[in-house]
Amino acid sequence: MELAVLSLSFLFFLLLGLPVAFGIGLACIATFIVEGLPFETSIQMMTSGMNVFSFLAIPFFIFSGELMLHGGIADRIVNFARSLVGHWTGGLGLANVVACTLFGGVSGSPIADTSAMGGVMIPIMKKEGYSAAYAVNVTTHASLSGALMPTSHNMIIYAFAAQSASGMIDGHLIKGVSIGDLMFAGLIPVFWIMLCMLIAAYWQAVRHGYPKRDDGSTRVEVFPGWNAVLMAFISSLPGLAVVGIILICILKGVATATEAAAIAVAYSIFLTVFVYRTMTMDRFLKSLAKASKTTGIIMLLIGVSNMLRYQMAYLEIPDAIEHALYATTHTPWVMLLLINVIQVFLGIFLDMAAHILITTPLFLPLAIQMGVGPVQFGMMLLLNCALGLVHPPVGSVQFIGCAIGNVSIGEATKSAWPYYLAIFTAINIVTYVAVFSTWLPTLITGHIVL
């Protein structure tokens, strides 16, 4: 009875068009009432979910990304990427992939990445003879790499959701997950995302003859020379250095993830105000307002998701899902495939933060039993959740890209399958080849990372 109330009321509120956070919260409150539990318990669950010190990193990372977004960092990264690969067939598309990957490390947000790179690259690509759908799809899908970068606030959310994970893998005790391990773990999967996206973008450019002249022939840019590439790299290096600063601070024990995020904000202000001198008071206030709004939305999602986690534990939902999957198969690789399929399906309806908070306690214990550690599972989960940002009806990243490119969601989606395939390939690499997620953090930290 209680499970029916929880699930049906949540679906009802979503159909009414309520934001996911309000839908989750109201569904949980309705379930509390049916169960006869005190209303105060729901409020306690909500506030305790948000009252976590490590969550201070979230507003700092978001604010740092917004400062970089409005501080002119994107233009320098685009110039570097274009000088490096712009002379190849489909050069602007390939430059877009590289630029989105690099800026993803600066912003840590697929949405900010799409806003910045899309605002710069999509109009240029359309003008140079690329279709609007191609420009939008390359931008939005390449921007997903921001979810796995060290500046990603989604890693903080996952670390919180995975804090109760425990078990044994190959004789190693698993208890929670380190934020530092996650930050190092994302670097190699990001490389595979970029490689898969470069292949997809190149193949589409060759197939359609991009960029096209007015007479239908294909044109290619002239390589500017390695001196120009070096100068462009030097110009973009101060902005890209924020990734290194965060990783070095955590690795050397100089700062926690929260303190490293605060350092990133201070560095972003220094860089955009005193080095590049592109930050104005108007841009600063816009960055502050956007960061405050995004932080509020995420913290509300965290609070109501903690209520939902309480309800799921109370109703023994994780155990029921585990038994259902075990009844289907006992083969680890098939089990992981089913988890990925379920994650992709849930991404149709859930925003990324809610997706992480809801599904981590459901599937992480099962993954640990399959021999998949919380760091590897985190990369797998973050990629699956990020994929939900580029397909309707939630698809916030795809909506932003289509708005910039002035193209309909339907038209962009029809030609998006090569990029979906590229992301699926990256997901499967991370899912079935653990070394891509665990080798680098093990090498750098000196302890076994699973």
Q: And the tokens for 249?
A: 């601070």
What is the per-residue DSSP string for 23-42? HHHHHHHHHHHHHT--HHHH
User: Is 303 contained in some domain?
Assistant: no
Residue whose C-alpha is closest to residue 144's, from 358, 378, 390, 356: 390
- Residue 81's nearest CA partner among 300, 233, 285, 196 is 233
The alpha carbon of residue 399 and the mean position of all alpha carbons in its chain are separated, in whole angstroms, by 16
CB proximity list for 222: less than 8 A, separation 6 or greater: 87
Q: How many CB atoms lie within 10 A of CB 220?
A: 12
Confirm whether 94 is domain-assigned: yes
Residue pLDDT tens, the chain, 450 long: 777 888 788 888 877 877 777 888 888 888 888 888 777 777 787 887 777 777 778 888 888 888 877 777 777 888 888 888 777 777 888 888 888 888 887 777 888 888 877 877 888 888 878 888 888 899 999 988 888 888 888 888 898 888 877 777 877 777 878 888 888 888 889 988 889 999 999 898 888 887 776 655 556 667 777 888 888 888 888 888 888 888 888 777 666 777 888 888 898 888 888 888 888 888 889 888 888 888 888 888 888 878 887 787 777 777 777 778 777 777 888 888 888 888 888 877 777 888 888 888 888 888 888 888 899 999 999 998 888 888 776 677 888 888 888 888 788 888 888 888 888 888 888 889 888 888 888 888 777 777
Instruction: Look at residue 7 and tell me if it is in a domain.
Output: no
Structural domain containing residue 283: 53-296+316-445
Compute the distance between CA of residue 366 and CA of residue 377 in angstroms, rounded to an integer. 10
CA 202 from chain centre, in angstroms, equals 23
Measure Cα distances from 348 to 195, 326, 341 in Å: 25, 25, 11
Helices (H), 315-416: 317-328, 332-346, 352-369, 374-387, 396-405, 409-414
Structurally, how many domains does the chain consist of?
1
Looking at the domain assignment, is residue 3 inside a domain? no
Check: CB of residue 346 under 8 Å from CB of residue 359. Answer: yes
CA dihedral sign of residues 60, 62, 65, 71: negative
DSSP state of 221: P
Q: Is residue 405 part of a domain?
A: yes
DSSP state of 170: T
| Residue 309 three-state SS | helix
In which residue are the tokens 């973050």 written?
A: 382
Q: Is residue 22 part of a domain?
A: no
- Per the CB < 8 A criterion, the answer to whether 24 and 354 are in contact is yes
Q: Is residue 304, in this structure, part of any structural domain at all?
A: no
- Residue 253 within a domain: yes
3-class secondary-structure state, position 172: strand
Model pTM score: 0.84
| Nearby residues of 313 by Cβ (< 8 Å), 6 or more positions away | 361
